[in-house]
Structure 1
């Protein structure tokens, strides 16, 4: 079988690329259905983009690489596509856009766009071997137990990264990139919960509150969630992408609360009130109980000097913790690192040393923040590669 373009991976980036790559395109995937990560994203409602997406929201060895693709296909372009398909959506918080209904609506949108563009989709199809030919690439596939050989002019690596292996995630894109002379940067789990030894936070499991999490490089103000294994929640997932093993983090439990002023006022008004009772008005009661022995929380408000109240507030704003690690690829939403952008064209996503070979989406060393940014990179990079391919037909 001969096609102009063979796309490996029927995820967000691969399906988007197929929509724009012109005629004679085949998309293959090992799964039973396309867009599996789309389906489970956003609690089943798909956080499909972010209103504020721009280059500063992405991590990469080359922070400028993503600018071209993001500028040529913006969040507003995808929002327009969603609206044209009659999909109702809403902003949840911080520019995060979700479907009012189901994430399956986004998969249906992409499948319909692919169909209209004339692209074919093969599911339950595995890649056996890939080799070059004078005219492009020869790929041996195994589809539902039967061997197939597909030759193509253009080959697109859109198989994602290593995150969530139970869904079939592998390092296939990295292996193929190396096979054709492309470098691959170090990969690790991103947007992933922190773990701590000895079940330290087990008594707090399920407790959540707004917090600021920081390390030496950055900080994030979003919800913090205590779990049986450690820390999770948006602020944790965000910081995890900037964290390295053995590094301490700082937790501010009262980032927006003028707690010192409030405690002084209450000391004047209700000095007989117990200190822990007053703190429970500003922090979850379970957390106050947990911190009580560590911070020596005892006595009435009237017993607390200004210095003691200030020391307490400083401790709540600068809680230093050393994670044992993260939950790894098992629960990571993305893979940090990937195919080195130095080997790709930022305009077309084509490999500089391997004509006709493209890499898009999570497979590339471009990783977005939590909140729809990674889907936007999938749309933008898929569009960049697809339109570049179509221009060669």
Structure 2
């Protein structure tokens, strides 16, 4: 039987950060992962350059049924702290868009950095290694693995959510939570493309590949506790529905059976502009719209909303132009679902954070058992926020075990 002070299960972003932090405090740490290839989710992130944090990351950029939970960890390990680590390892980086930081070269540099940080604390590796069971024992836990028995007073679960199963995602963390009687917030795909009924989407299939900047919103934005959100980002038409940053962002807030509303021309009051131009613009309606929208999209929208392509703007009643303006500035449509975990960048939901200490990430009822990263019900926006939660929650547990 191998004995350690801490066993960290899951060698992704949060797990490696936690293991390195704990080991550099002088603890004897073992890091376990069932995959043969290390940190595949880091490797594929950001188009292979890893959007490793966002300079704007704060509690407002995260979703949770317990929204205050993330404040402690995020305040104690900030984007500036991670950037300092990146600089220490001489990794070049740049800001791309809205505070998103990427490696200049490759996501492999972040993986190597985390491996080096683990090595600095002499972390012991078990990989590939499958944990077959986890049980409480006197003074801690016993892990039965396919590489032998491990005993440790503290165990950290950093196995992530259900997103992207082809690179090894499992429900291990959720099964551990169930085993120890911890409540769950129902998991679901997040940061994911949305799909529509085939008949409803038929007029837009030929729009596949078109991208443009839009405003998109869903849910209620009013009151002290708004349930929805609004984003201005790029939208992408696909064969089955909508994708792009705007849709990935709003998908985390969208509730099944409810609509999303898209403003395809957020800088333009279309109805007012068309009505004002009736006296001077002699073009057909399709040609007029093509000033602001891709021609293919303009034609598709006109047909989908019952407007003739050859109708002249000057001949259109104001009421019809207001209808057209609403169809484009307030295009409301209801998804029938999403592309699911296979295309979701993260999992929303997970271990209910009301079961955990926000200072240490330890389960309140199970001393020595910790949950970090995507395993718990804290989900960040698109753009480096989820990595920042991985680093911050990993450090919080690594300092506490």
TM-score by length of 2: 0.92
For 1:70 and 1:241, locate their aligned partners in 2 and report how far apart those are by CA, in whole Å. Answer: 20
For 2:87 and 2:278, locate their aligned partners in 1 and report how far apart those are by CA, in whole Å. Answer: 55
Which stretch shows the higher mean deviation, 321-330 or 304-313?
Answer: 304-313
For 1:50 and 1:267, locate their aligned partners in 2 and report how far apart those are by CA, in whole Å. Answer: 46
Query: Of 277, 289, 312, which aligns to 1:300?
Result: 312
Conserved? CA contact 2:270–2:329, under 8 Å: no
Which stretch shows the higher mean deviation, 11-20 or 25-34?
Answer: 25-34
Say which SS state the counterpart of residue 337 (structure 1) adopts: strand
Q: Which residue in 2 is equivalent to 1:101?
A: 105
For 1:7 and 1:70, locate their aligned partners in 2 and report how far apart those are by CA, in whole Å. Answer: 21
Q: Does 1:111 align with 2:115?
A: yes
Q: Which residue in 1 is equivalent to 2:240?
A: 229
Q: Does 1:77 align with 2:89?
A: no
Deviations 1:202-237 (A, max 9, x none): 211111111111112222111111101111111111
For 2:397 and 2:302, locate their aligned partners in 1 and report how far apart those are by CA, in whole Å. Answer: 56
For 1:92 and 1:262, locate their aligned partners in 2 and report how far apart those are by CA, in whole Å. Answer: 34
Q: Which residue in 2 is equivalent to 1:240?
A: 251
Q: Does 1:61 align with 2:65?
A: yes
Q: Which residue in 1 is equivalent to 2:177?
A: 177
Q: Which residue in 1 is equivalent to 2:301?
A: 291
> Deviation of residue 264 (structure 1)?
5.3
Q: Which residue in 2 is equivalent to 1:278?
A: 288
> Deviation of residue 79 (structure 1)?
1.1
The within-5 A match list for 1:245-284 is: 245-260=256-271, 262-263=273-274, 267-269=278-280, 271-284=281-294
> Deviation of residue 292 (structure 1)?
2.1
For 2:318 and 2:87, locate their aligned partners in 1 and report how far apart those are by CA, in whole Å. Answer: 56
For 1:340 and 1:159, locate their aligned partners in 2 and report how far apart those are by CA, in whole Å. Answer: 15
Q: Which residue in 2 is equivalent to 1:14?
A: 15
TM-score by length of 1: 0.94
For 2:303 and 2:178, locate their aligned partners in 1 and report how far apart those are by CA, in whole Å. Answer: 54
Conserved? CA contact 2:269–2:329, under 8 Å: no
For 1:6 and 1:67, locate their aligned partners in 2 and report how far apart those are by CA, in whole Å. Answer: 26
Say which SS state the counterpart of residue 186 (structure 2) adopts: coil
Say which SS state the counterpart of residue 143 (structure 2) adopts: strand
Deviations 1:137-188 (A, max 9, x none): 110111xxxx410101110000001111111111100111221222112111
Q: Which residue in 2 is equivalent to 1:51?
A: 55
For 2:101 and 2:277, locate their aligned partners in 1 and report how far apart those are by CA, in whole Å. Answer: 41
Conserved? CA contact 2:12–2:42, under 8 Å: yes
Q: Which residue in 2 is equivalent to 1:355?
A: 367
Deviations 1:58-79 (A, max 9, x none): 1111100000000000011001
Say which SS state the counterpart of residue 130 (structure 2) adopts: strand
> Deviation of residue 248 (structure 1)?
1.4
Query: Of 204, 207, 210, which aligns to 1:204?
Result: 207
Q: Which residue in 2 is equivalent to 1:140?
A: 144
Task: Mark the runs of 5 or more structure 2 residues left unpaired by the alignment.
Answer: 220-227
Task: Mark the runs of 5 or more structure 1 residues left unpaired by the alignment.
Answer: none
> Deviation of residue 310 (structure 1)?
3.2
Conserved? CA contact 2:271–2:326, under 8 Å: no
What value does the CA root-mean-square deviation take over the aligned residues? 1.5
Say which SS state the counterpart of residue 203 (structure 1) adopts: helix
Query: Of 88, 91, 107, which aligns to 1:87?
Result: 91
> Deviation of residue 85 (structure 1)?
1.2
Say which SS state the counterpart of residue 47 (structure 2) adopts: helix
For 2:186 and 2:317, locate their aligned partners in 1 and report how far apart those are by CA, in whole Å. Answer: 51
Say which SS state the counterpart of residue 206 (structure 2) adopts: helix
The within-5 A match list for 1:35-46 is: 35-46=39-50
> Deviation of residue 267 (structure 1)?
4.4
Q: Which residue in 1 is equivalent to 2:193?
A: 193
For 1:294 and 1:229, locate their aligned partners in 2 and report how far apart those are by CA, in whole Å. Answer: 16
> Deviation of residue 5 (structure 1)?
0.7
Deviations 1:6-36 (A, max 9, x none): 1000000000001111331111111112211
